Amino acid sequence: MSVDTYQIDDLKDLRKFVYQILCDENQLEPGIFPMTERILTRAGAPCGTYFCLHGPRSVKSTAIWETDHNTILFYGTAGERFQKIHLSQAPILASSIA
């Protein structure tokens, strides 16, 4: 699996980017299905974000933005990782908590 590199400037763009990749992978039309997200913490400090796209028939695909290495890991509906993306620049996670 190759690792692609992208630059994302703010959290809104990060959400749109993750949503689009999850929709594309599952052949879902963007804007139809909801995506939820949760802040991940380690020792009380934010360390990433968990994204979950809720598709038809209770199908879910997920992504995890891991801030230590600034990567996004994408997982399919069966739990298999299908893509890894490195962010050369990314938004600061702590600013999204406010």
Q: What is the largest CA-CA distance in the chain?
A: 38
On average, the pLDDT of the chain sits at 90
Q: What is the pTM of this model?
A: 0.87
Within 10 A of 27 (CB to CB), how many other CB atoms are there? 7
Q: Please give the residue range of the domain that contains residue 29.
A: 3-96
Per residue in 34-69, pLDDT (tens digit) is 999 999 999 999 999 999 999 998 899 999 999 989
> Number of folded domains in the chain?
1
Whether the per-residue pLDDT at 97 is higher than 60: the answer is: no
Amino acid sitting at position 60: K
Q: Which residues, 6+ apart, have CB-to-CB distance to 32 below 8 Å?
A: none
